[in-house]
Amino acid sequence: MKPAPPGLLDSPARNFSASVVVFLVALPLCMGIAIASGVPVSAGLVTGIVGGIIVGFLAGAPLQVSGPAAGLTVIVYDIVVNHGIETLGLCVLVGGVLQIICGALGLGVWFRAVSPAVIRGMLTGIGVLIFASQMHVLVDDVPPGGGLKNLVTIPEAVSKGLPWPKLRSESERSAKVDLLKASGALHERQEILRERVAEHVPTDFAPVLGDENDPATIVIVEGLAEDAEALAATQAEIVEQLDGVREAFVAAGLDKGQKSERRVAHLAEATEALAAARDALASAGDPSAEAALEVRRKVDAAEDALLDFEYSLKNHDIAAKLGLLTIAVIVVWQFLVTKVGPLKPLNVIPAPLLAVLAATVAAWAFILPVVYVEVPASLADEIRFPTWTVLRTMDWQAVLGGGLLIGAVASAESLLCAAAVDKLHKFPKANFDRELFAQGVGNSICGLLGALPMTGVIVRSSANVRSGATSRSSAILHGVWLLIFVALLGWLLALIPTTALAGVLVYVGWRLIDFAAVGELWKLGKGELVVFFVTVAGIVAVDLLSGVVAGIILAAIRLLTKFGKLNAKVEIDESTPPGAPPIVHLRLQGAATFLKLPKLAETLDEIPSNADVRADLTELSYIDHACVDLLAEWRAQHEDTGGTLSVDWDLLEDRFRTAATPAANGIADGNGNDVVTEDEPVTKPI
């Protein structure tokens, strides 16, 4: 009989302290991932709150913590750039519904049936994209384009950040900081206004709007006309605020000096663009397709102009040094708490939080003129429910495509994470179908709220386990702390330099790049390495979906020559003495590939928890990396319940067809001796 899971209220002190640690880990990551995804920070915070409070109650992996994940930034950014932020919520909703259906149908294990070379290639490709884009944000710049362009222009970003900063007078720095924060707040208001306009004139529909008699055009025109007066009033307020910023700009003398011409030009462009947006909204009360198109163009242009003005005040060199300070604190702190004995108890203090705090304090103490996080006056301002206009005019092909991609990648990441977390504790293991269902509920809610998609996240989950969590209450409480902090102390987030969050993500992206995979996959065979590099190259050069699909197709083609039937049988030895653990013979015949992983998993689930299992591989023709991983994970769980697993290692190595050492696989030899420690999963989840 398997042990019962700890109750919700068990060990309240341990779970309370663990929840605080997880909250401190989650806070900077929620914001940084939102910025990297091209959405407001509030979208990441909402997802963190939902992932804690809602998914925490429903999760099939109680010690796993859910929230926005670095692995989905690439997908989200592509959706927002190509189809508009108003499309994101619907894509996340579709992905969530897909997860709910798959979880209810018991298909959770199938999301793990992917070649490890593809998974590791996907994570590496995502890591390269995050690293490349955030290197530009690190120097207070905007990523110039797609993944490949961001990558090849990294030297340009480095050159901008190389010069040693020359700090101006304190009064000039203070004035510039005030202007940066004021222009950032102005840009945030304009962004919210643009989102409201996009609910009436969606991105995908704006280029083809024009037929006055088209039903969708009528919906857009009439809906915009109804809200035009209120939207125009809001735009007028933003114009007034920009007048105040312009006065402060002149009073601070920032219209003079070497960079004055560029700053003055950007301020003039912003003033002109905002006035044009106000006038367009004012005239939209008279319904017409032409007016709707004009409003959308002018409001978009106004936001772009405000962003250009804000960034004309930036200092690449200062931002770069602040970002490097963030990375240095993360690296040094993690070294100290893992290598220096007296400091090891301090490893509960999250390195990313400490790094962001250090950068924030440095920016405050030295009054550094860098770009700061833009925070809405109220979290409710950024919650966007799907409107009737968006539903009527949406490009549903793009929505379904984006939703299916989000659902598939988020499910694979969450279940990989759940499998990794299972290795970190001795409590009952995850129910993958329930976990998949819970993730679907969370993503459906995030979709309705217009927030980021979520997955189970290994960084937060491992911090949860290391901090002593014993039940789901720690994950739930971390969501509560996020909600309370945002509601009561959200203004503190505006003190954080954007470069500090970029520094955290540069480090995260670098860590996702799986350099060790090259050597390990080479030992498994040249074909595995080719699959890995094809996946990485496709993701970086084209997009995430193309890279993953290319990797999966190539892995499937490779298996065609080795593919065959797998017969997995479980036979209980009737000669087992009374009272002794049952002796079970596990017989594998044919080829054990990742396509047969669900069948192998079902067979292993039939084995009694305390059985002495003896594997017979004499009729096994081939076993791949995914099935070896499954056997390793199952063996660890089986031993936790008092059972054993014995394998003829020499025969298994022959079937595995690799020059890898036994220590790469985590399975007992023929005598039941351990040949590997399992500190990390074979495939590294995000």
Q: Is the pLDDT of residue 613 over 70?
A: yes
- What was the pLDDT predicted at 209? 64
Convert the pLDDT of each residue in 405-427 to its tens digit: 999 889 988 888 888 788 777 77
Q: Is the pLDDT of residue 480 over 90?
A: yes
What CA–CA distance (Å, rounded) separates 571 from 555?
Answer: 33
Pick the range with the lowest mean pLDDT from 124-133, 508-517, 572-581.
572-581
Residue, of 596 and 357, whose pLDDT is higher: 357
Mean pLDDT for 437-460 is: 93
Question: What are phi and psi for residue 10, nearest 5 degrees?
Answer: -70, 145
* Residues facing 592 on adjacent strands: 623
The pair of structure tokens assigned to 483 is: 């909600």
State how far the alpha carbon of 563 is from the alpha carbons of 398, 555, 566, 637, in Å: 35, 11, 9, 28
Mean pLDDT for 471-482 is: 93
Convert the pLDDT of each residue in 18-76 to its tens digit: 898 899 889 888 998 998 888 989 999 999 999 999 999 999 888 999 999 887 888 89
% of the chain surpassing 90 pLDDT: 30
Instruction: Please tell me the pTM assigned to this model.
Output: 0.77
| Crossing angle between the packed helical segments 396-422 and 73-83, to the nearest 10 degrees | 170
Question: Is 269 in contact with 202 (CB distance < 8 Å)?
Answer: no
Residue, of 487 and 593, whose pLDDT is higher: 487
Convert the pLDDT of each residue in 210-231 to its tens digit: 666 777 777 788 888 888 889 9
Mean pLDDT for 631-648 is: 86
Question: What are phi and psi for residue 583, nearest 5 degrees?
Answer: -95, 125
> What's the angle, vertex CA 157, arms to CA 155 and CA 162, rounded to 5?
90
Mean pLDDT for 665-679 is: 34
Convert the pLDDT of each residue in 140-156 to its tens digit: 988 887 788 999 999 99
pLDDT band at 665 (very low <50, low <70, confident <90, very high): very low
pLDDT band at 562 (very low <50, low <70, confident <90, very high): low
Convert the pLDDT of each residue in 218-264 to its tens digit: 778 888 888 888 999 999 999 999 999 898 888 888 877 766 888 88
Mean pLDDT for 614-630 is: 85
